Structure formats: structure tokens, C-alpha cells
Structure 1
Amino acid sequence: MKANVGGIDKALRIIVGAALIALALTNVIGVWGYIGVLPLLTGLFNFCGLYTLLGINSCKLPRK
């Protein structure tokens, strides 16, 4: 897996994912908040499968 998520994209994914999970845990938005696991993991691992399919790369690291 090559990194394709970086910078502001990564930070926003982690923040939004954590916020959705927190809202789900406090039962504000119900179980749908656990969908926040997806952006949180893609932000932490710097890889998004959908970006790969669409040919998008927001990571500034050189490709190998």
C-alpha cells in the first residue's frame, strides 16, 4: 500500500472520524456515528482505497 493521503486531508480525516465516534459513544447520533472508523483509519494509515481507484494522491511524498 502506497501512501496517498497526506497533509490537511489526513488531519481532517482524523478529526472528523474521531468526532463521529465520540458522538456515537455519547449516543448523540446513534450507531451511524461509528462510520467515523473509516476516515479515522484512512487518516492514520495514510491510505484510501477509493483514492487509488480514482487515481487521486494528496500525499506530497515521492512515489516509489
Structure 2
Amino acid sequence: MERNVGSTDKTARILIGALAGVVSLGILASAVPLPVILAPVLGLASVLLLVTGVTGFCGLYGLLGIDTCAVDTR
């Protein structure tokens, strides 16, 4: 599994994933006034973003041929 998620992309995914997770938990705790159906959707999105951010690999990027990693000039 080759890395295809660059450092800026990783940071954005981790931050957005954490925020989505907090909002999802806030919805479940009735602290955020959004429809309850959004909680599992945001929870799943949060997990996917966090996993792809931590591992540095995105399956969708692989299918589409996208690579945001810096070019190795060695």
C-alpha cells in the first residue's frame, strides 16, 4: 500500500475528522441542534477521514490516480 496522501492533506483530514466526530457526539448528546440522522453519517465520515489521515493512504485517491504526496527528487 503506497502512500498517496501528502502532509497538508493528512493534517486537514485529521482536523476535519476530529471536528466531525465532536459534532457527531454533540448531536447524540443533544448539545448540537441538528437532526439525529446526521450523527452516524458524521461519525462514519469522521472515522474514514481519521484513518486515511493517519495511514497516509486513501483508496478513492488510488482509484482516481490522485497523489498529493511531495515528489521525491532522488
TM, length-normalised to structure 1:
0.85
Q: CA-atom RMSD, angstroms?
A: 1.4
Match of 2:41? Answer: 32
After TM superposition, the runs of 4+ consecutive aligned structure 1 residues lying more than 4 A away are none
1:15-54 → structure 2 map (5 Å cutoff): 15-27=15-27, 28=32, 29=34, 30-34=39-43, 35-54=45-64
Unaligned runs of 5+ in 2: none
In the alignment, residue 4 of structure 2 is paired with which amino acid?
N
Counting aligned pairs with the same residue, the percent is 44
Rg larger in structure: 2
Matched positions, count: 62
Which range moved further: 3-12 or 52-61?
52-61
Unaligned runs of 5+ in 1: none
Work out the CA distance in 1 between the residues paired with 2:67 and 2:46.
21
TM, length-normalised to structure 2:
0.74
